[in-house]
Structure 1
Amino acid sequence: MTTLEGLPAVRRLTAWEPTRLESLAGEYETPLYVLDLDRVRENARRLESAFPDAEILYAVKANALSDALETLHEAGIGLECASAGELSRALVVTDSGADVHYTAVNPPAGDLDIAVEAWEAYPELTITAGAEDTIDRLEERGYDGRLCLRVNPGIGAGHHEKVQTGANAKFGVPAERAVDVLADAADRGFDVVGIHAHVGSGVSSDQLDAHREFVSRMGELARSVTAAVGDLEFVDIGGGFGVPYREADAPLDLEAVAEATREAVGDVDAQLTIEPGRYFVADAGVLLTEVNTVKDARETTLVGVDAGMTTLLRPAMYDAYHPIRNLTADTEADSSDGDRSRGTTAQTITGPICESGDVFCTDRELPESERGDLLAIGNAGAYGYEMANQYNSRPRPASVVIEDGTVRLARRRETIDDVTSVERES
């Protein structure tokens, strides 16, 4: 079993072995996602150590690669699914569905049909509803199983306004109406088992006060629900535990978060449930990309690479920072002759997409790039491939996983035929 002794709280991009990554790019080509499953396990152990009495679920939306799901399930981590597709993936690796939660937002009819069919096969599955309408729609489909209510606590936090969910009207039933909604659901025959809320994504240590207030509200609500409706099995406070993307940022003090959580939730006769996603996989992944163009522009040096916003969307969508490393320059600097050390210059790294927003960084000081150089983009294990798309009719990249020193292809590279095949089939 993996222990935490001697393991860093975060894996920085500088910790990846450049020659190993270069060999992967040579064998599997670029762009290429690389996921270290051993690091995923280490992150799972860290969460289990900080929250020893909690039920821990993995938010599948962070990285739904089957290898990641299997690795975490084998480590005793449950699976939280935001869509019918994620639910279908999760049920492939579970035995009973008892450790699977379906937590959709405004689920389409087809998704609800699939979820109810899954419940018929796996009656221990938990379905979380975020609207009274969703409860009605479940009842119409004959569902009277395990029901959790997503509530809106009126407080949000996270790394960007687009991922702060706790106060966004899209997410959950207003907390002040939760008792009445759950009492009605119980009267209608549903098996009411829990309440759920999620404050946001990428919560950092300096947002601990907001997290504490959010958890405190959930504890108060749980006590009110218990008094009015009956005992709950769990209180799910979501995930959102941040990881440091910038090199100078300190890792999240997970022990402090756990202690603050226990204090804030208070005396509740129900199990605490958490469902991180990013924390498991972000620093376990990198994206490899090759330089194809170096251009001196008026105000910057423009470096074009073969990955773009279709490969990694986060910088374009959230203005997110990802560390970038020139592996070729580092290998040259570390070589035995030692005479190929490059200078640094401010560079704008951009992809091949026909959009001005297709930029990974602007005027970042990096070793001078040359055509053919291999770059690594760090913290790409979360919301990397999951948000990849086929804009400009570009095929999505391949993915490999590393486990116990062995590399295997986990997802083949798409082709242009893959992009157009659904049109031909119609």
Structure 2
Amino acid sequence: MSDDATPVTDGGESVADAADADPEDSPAIRRLADWDADRLSDIADEHDTPLYVTDLDRVAENCARLRAAFPDADLRYAVKANTARAVLEAVRDAGLGAECASAGEVRRALDAGFDGDDVDYTAVNPPERDLDAVVEWWEDGADLTITVGAADTLDRLRERGYDGRVCVRANPGVGAGHHEKVRTGGAAKFGVPAERVAEVFASARPDFDVVGLHAHAGSGIHGDEDLAAHREFLARVADLAGDVGDLEYVNVGGGIGVPYRDDEEPLDLDAVAAAIREELDGLDARLALEPGRYVVADAAVLLTRVNTVKGAPNELVAGVDAGMTDLLRPAMYDAFHEIRSLEPDSVDREEAPVTVAGPICESGDTFCEGRPLPVPERGDLLALGNVGAYGYEMASTYNSRPRPADVSLAGELLRERESLADLTRLER
């Protein structure tokens, strides 16, 4: 890993130090109740809301926990989970590589100081401009690896004169994950069909340095049903790897989930690691993984203020200044995020069924419906937990709403709040 950049700090401790810490010194999952309410309130007062707050030390601790569970594996952070420059630098300093789903993510990783040979570009039906850019950076000396999921992509790389490192993505026909929209292992969009993998390897080897086999079951793998499907996925990947042989590594993707509900237990990461090693036992290749959500999910919260309180049949509606443009997961995946009032007197208030709704002109713009919460008042500060993965990354400017700011727990501005002028800056 490149070590020439200044380590990011958060809360007075260097992220590099946090990454070197014993994973047993930090909890396996950080609950919303574990965040300091006074500190979050101070940050909200200084930077306004809606606002993401990111704990960079927690990012480093999660990286250290993964390294302890998979000491011999090649770990590559799935950049799409959170692309903030400070997050990428924290991951780099913790010793992980970068897995990138677009040319833009490759550029971000290189700019954040990742060495080219620590970067994978996992091309899914890649646009022409993406391939052009990635091959150009390779020609300029970034010795990255391109993961291809179609024979067509190999042809397009040949046309561009690329003869570098290639990994072939297989579709094993088994998916797992928290929602049908993120179960990739069985979706035809992703990877070479299992029955064609050997053929594609044979076609690629004369023209490229074919180094690996890749497959990915899905995102947010957590419950027993998901883990059972993941075991079947691993068994199929092992069979494919045995068939093609002569591999530097076998990449089984990411998807390691985290509990979003307070009553859910975290994964036993050591048990998951043991299951992966058991299923891949006997392969003469290094294990590679691409964790994303696990690294950053519990490292950030979203702060929002109540601006409207109104009664409705059987519930109260708390209108807040954050919406689906700031956090899309509840609207898109029906995802659950813990919500906590940060008001000092909230523990003394009665609870009532509360719907927390944003300002977007869509009925789906709600963070919860009829959830038992302290009776809200206008001006209350609320926090939503586990938003570090696919929170800010999926933010949009729908309804012409500027995207929020992102601040470290130490109070350092990581991403500026967009202005109304920013919304029209590119228009002509």
Q: What TM-score does the superposition give when structure 1 sets the normalisation length?
A: 0.94
The change in CA–CA distance for 1:246 and 1:128 in structure 2 (over 3 A counts) is same
Q: 396, 406, 422: which is aligned to 2:426?
A: 422
Q: Which moved more, 1:201-210 or 1:231-240?
A: 201-210
Aligned partners of 1:216 and 1:266 also within 8 Å: no
Q: Does 2:355 align with 1:348?
A: yes
What is aligned with 1:12? Answer: 31
- Which residues in structure 2 correspond to 1:10-409 (within 5 Å)? 10-94=29-113, 96-187=115-206, 189-206=207-224, 207-226=226-245, 231-328=246-343, 331-332=344-345, 341-402=348-409, 406-409=410-413
Please report how far the alpha carbon of residue 122 of structure 1 lies from its aligned counterpart in structure 2 after TM superposition: 3.0
Aligned partners of 1:96 and 1:122 also within 8 Å: no
Structure 1, residues 49-87: CA drift from partner, whole Å, max 9, x if none? 111110000000000000000001011000000011101
Q: Which consecutive residues of structure 2, in runs of 5 or more, have no partner in the other structure?
A: 1-19
Partner Cα separation in structure 1 for residue 123 and residue 318 of structure 2: 40
Aligned partners of 1:244 and 1:251 also within 8 Å: yes
Please report how far the alpha carbon of residue 400 of structure 1 lies from its aligned counterpart in structure 2 after TM superposition: 0.6
SS of 1:42 mapped into structure 2: helix
Structure 1, residues 319-338: CA drift from partner, whole Å, max 9, x if none? 0000000101xx2257xxxx
The change in CA–CA distance for 1:107 and 1:232 in structure 2 (over 3 A counts) is same
Aligned partners of 1:157 and 1:165 also within 8 Å: yes
Count of aligned pairs: 408
Structural RMSD (CA): 1.0
Partner Cα separation in structure 1 for residue 303 and residue 213 of structure 2: 40
Please report how far the alpha carbon of residue 95 of structure 1 lies from its aligned counterpart in structure 2 after TM superposition: 5.1
Aligned partners of 1:158 and 1:202 also within 8 Å: yes
Please report how far the alpha carbon of residue 123 of structure 1 lies from its aligned counterpart in structure 2 after TM superposition: 4.4
SS of 1:98 mapped into structure 2: helix
SS of 1:194 mapped into structure 2: strand
Partner Cα separation in structure 2 for residue 122 and residue 321 of structure 1: 43
Identity %: 61
Partner Cα separation in structure 1 for residue 364 and residue 142 of structure 2: 46
Please report how far the alpha carbon of residue 241 of structure 1 lies from its aligned counterpart in structure 2 after TM superposition: 0.4
Amino acid at match of 1:210: A
Partner Cα separation in structure 1 for residue 141 and residue 220 of structure 2: 32
What is aligned with 1:413? Answer: 417
Structure 1, residues 229-287: CA drift from partner, whole Å, max 9, x if none? xx211100000000000110010111111000000012111110000100000001100
Amino acid at match of 1:401: S
Structure 1, residues 156-208: CA drift from partner, whole Å, max 9, x if none? 00000000000000000011211110111112x11100010110000014122
Structure 1, residues 350-371: CA drift from partner, whole Å, max 9, x if none? 0000000001000000001000
Structure 1, residues 351-408: CA drift from partner, whole Å, max 9, x if none? 0000000010000000010000000000010000000000001000000113xxx320
Partner Cα separation in structure 1 for residue 24 and residue 158 of structure 2: 49
Q: What TM-score does the superposition give when structure 2 sets the normalisation length?
A: 0.94
Please report how far the alpha carbon of residue 93 of structure 1 lies from its aligned counterpart in structure 2 after TM superposition: 2.4
Amino acid at match of 2:377: E
Q: Which consecutive residues of structure 1, in runs of 5 or more, have no partner in the other structure?
A: 335-340
